Amino acid sequence: MVPQKASSLSGPQDIGISHERYDHKFIESDLNCVFPVDRMREYVQEGKLGSLSDEHYSFMGHIYVTGPLLENAGKVGRRLRELGVDTAFLTPT
């Protein structure tokens, strides 16, 4: 789980990719294929969304021991609620 400031994201060079179970070539060429931050920014400009939270989170996939994932997912949910987020957009890798 890695909190990331959305305003600082301009491309794949701004995030670390440690997942070894899939080909990174697509995310390395276009961050939006797994984290569609540019599309979300466009939706804000078009009035389809009110605003974006400045905090975004990611979870590693291919997890066999799910206890820590479930615990941290709850923490992230509570944090997003504290921030006033009313919709979460989830994307798979």
The residue range of the domain holding 55 is 4-82
Q: Using CB atoms within 10 A of its CB, is residue 35 exposed (0-12), middle (13-18) or buried (19+)?
A: buried
- Determine, yes or no, domain membership for 44: yes
Question: How many domains is the chain partitioned into structurally?
Answer: 1
Residue 2, pLDDT > 50, answer no
- Whether 93 is covered by a domain: the verdict is no
Q: Is residue 91 part of a domain?
A: no
What's the whole-model pTM score?
0.69
Question: Is 72 within the bounds of a domain?
Answer: yes
Residue type, 30: D
Mean pLDDT computed over 73-77? 93
In a domain, 87, yes or no: no
Q: What's the CA gap between 8 and 21, in Å, rounded? A: 26
